[in-house]
Structure 1
């Protein structure tokens, strides 16, 4: 699955871009309104798309995809569509394709967060096509990995493994942090399929790569020790080590940067579920309460799923005062539909 222009641009340079969900009608309006149409772009427009993608990503981390995705979609249809149609020198054209691909990947990721999985897959496929056209290995591999994350979260372990392997194969010269990023997902997918040997091999590979990456630098906003510990937790859980999974998830929570509010809600709720699985009701309630502290500020379908699961898991324990207090608190915070 090597990114290549071949096959991507057969019907014209930007034909793939014009099939993005919601774009064709916008393109038509742009063609009808010739006055004021941007006819040529430079690197300043590319820089603006990159900066906007970074800002939307920050909002997604803090507030969830339900808030941020409409902003990204609007930006694509109202601004990036015109940029992709404009004339540009070849280096600028390539850079704009790459920037648009990254924005599409992010929009697909946010659609996953909303539970809009079919839409997410369409965004992901177009992100792959534009990344191939731009010869952008980083976004190509990141998108394949994102598709693997979606598959593993939906319980499709075999497909998740195929996508994770494809992402790794398409990035043979990845640096240590990227290698950890890819190997961690391979480990998670392998564990879901029950392949203990591969899961342990990939998680050791991720740990080794992370050690190398951390010795060089620890850039904010990339795959970091918190993310690695999350994957270690998922591998342990997938292989039947619930106690070890709890320990690693707790370590992930301790290491997580504060701005990642959406992840904090989801992962703390997952941690609570596993604590309860061990029979630690009081500890689980304490962790769920921490998740609820942030939950009202997050608009996320995946966070909603974890709160819905919490209600179901707590219901048999409502005679316990701690569980009952948590249940009642959650009913005052969460949408009533989640309580069942």
Structure 2
């Protein structure tokens, strides 16, 4: 939160009350903008999007009884470009600086990064720079040291954030993770460290960036999510972990599918498959093939989907629990079956889809998002088969799992099935479901 926003909160004022105070103080001294313009200016000042110039700067100080520096109006207010964090930086020093900017402006709620548009071309450019560009490790030493204990702390904190995210949704602790990344992790990047610890540090940073990206994605902050995914890609490369870098690309593909960009998701998944195949890490190859199948299915390409699923199945059975990377602990049969089931739903193959989701109906590991997703997919299957009452029953089960979950992504799954059921609104089961859905989704 910016100091200017904090000052208004401390006063307990609304923006309209602040505008009134500024107009009162300016009476007979300054001509101010109209009330509507003034309210827009206040929003821009408080988000850090614009600087307050005189006479507004002096009037703000007078209204709050504080000095300009205390309000962040000392003339050194940070500026940020709307493309902050979107570029894959060859220089690791510049990448760290980009991540610092991104976390800082994310934390203050700067609209330039929190409300930007999702830009598929930016991810394509990042992939090309990752694949064909050069990487330079040129970090300056700013003092301090990093030990194995520091790495263990980072991994533990990331695991904690991940557990909270999976249980309660992306909005539950996202800003805590952002602040930890900025305040605890970024200073370590510039500290003295031996080569082994440095690789572990960059790897842990990449994993945390990717998690924060998922949290942003889960809350529908899609532009913000892609920025953190790009940073995760860069630090995975700095760690020399191309398998994890490929895994980050599949996260980008997942987001593209959710945003109904299967063409873009397919390109990302295919790049991930090519890159992961060269690493020999079975779980990374499996994930890439799975999303390739998902993208083919979303485009109605059954042959492409089937071939990709067969590739995924072959490598899935090669995953060795003892040798698999620590970051892949969530990968198992339930996740594989869920992805395969979604492919069959998208292709309209209801028998195969029902069989897949029936296998994992009770294997959700206490995660509400998984329960919602599986139930929504079964509701889609029932609707494709013409069983509206059964579809409503599954949709109601999904709805009941959403209570207390801070996940915009799950909310959107519920909205979509609700919209599909609305075409059968003459049936009593649909009317009952819609009534319950309206109450929950409005909240």
TM-score, normalised with respect to structure 2: 0.65
Higher relative contact order (CA 8 A, sep 6+): 1
CA contact (8 A) 1:8 1:132 kept: no
1:304-334: CA deviation from partner (whole Å, max 9, x where unpaired): 1122224333444454333333233333433
Query: Aligned equivalents of 2:209 and 2:391: distance in 1?
Result: 37
> Which among 371, 381, 392 is matched to residue 285 of structure 1?
392
Map residues 181-330 of structure 1 onto 2, 5 A cutoff: 181-213=287-319, 221-254=329-362, 256-330=363-437
Deviation per CA, 1:258-282: give whole Å up to 9, x if none: 2222122133123213322321112
Cα separation, 1, equivalents of 2:207 and 2:347: 33
Task: Decide whether the 8 Å contact of 2:369 with 2:410 is kept in 1.
Answer: yes
CA distance, structure 2, for counterparts of residue 311 and residue 257 of structure 1: 22
Give unmatched runs, 5+ long, in structure 1.
1-6, 27-36
> 2:146, 2:183 → 1: CA distance?
15
Q: What is the 5 A alignment of 1:1-340?
A: 11=91, 13-20=92-99, 21-23=101-103, 39-171=144-276, 172-213=278-319, 221-254=329-362, 256-336=363-443
CA offset at residue 51 of structure 1?
Answer: 1.2
**Which residue is equivalent to 2:39?**
none
Deviates further, 64-73 or 202-211:
202-211
Could you list the structure 1 runs, at least 4 aligned residues long, displaced by more than 6 angstroms after superposition: 214-220
Q: Summarize the Cα distance change of 1:115–1:10 in structure 2 as closer, same or farther, 3 Å threshold.
A: closer
For residues 315 and 240 of structure 2, the distance between their equivalents in structure 1, rounded to whole angstroms, comes to 25
Structure 1 position 182, deviation (Å): 2.3
Bigger mean CA offset, 166-175 vs 71-80: 166-175
Once the two structures are superposed, what CA deviation does each residue of 1:199-250 show, in whole Å capped at 9, x if it has no partner? 1111112223333438989999422222112222222233332343233233
Q: TM-score, normalised by structure 1?
A: 0.83
Distance in 2, Cα, partners of 1:334 & 1:124: 29
* Contact residue 418 and residue 434 of structure 2 kept, 8 A: yes
**Whole-angstrom distance in 2 between the partners of 1:302 and 1:126:** 22
CA offset at residue 130 of structure 1? 1.0
Instruction: Report the count of equivalent residues.
Output: 318
Change (3 A) 1:39 1:327: same
* Equivalent residues of 1:18, 1:24 under 8 A apart: no
Q: 1:241 to 1:146 in 2, by over 3 A?
A: same
Name the structure where helix makes up a greater proportion of residues: 1
Any conservation in 1 of the 2:103–2:179 contact (CA below 8 Å)? no
Q: 1:150 & 1:225 partners in 2: Cα distance? A: 22
SS in 2 for 1:272: helix
Kindly provide the CA deviation profile for residues 47-80 of structure 1, in whole angstroms up to 9, marking residues without a partner as x: 1111111111111111111113222112111211
Structure ID, larger Rg:
2
Tell me if the contact between 2:243 and 2:279 (Cα under 8 Å) persists in the aligned partners: no
Question: Distance in 1 between the 2:349 and 2:243 partners?
Answer: 33
CA distance 1:92–1:244, change in 2 (3 Å): same
CA-CA distance at 1:24 after TM superposition: 5.7
Residue 10 of structure 1, CA deviation? 5.0
Is the partner of 2:249 in helix, strand or coil?
helix
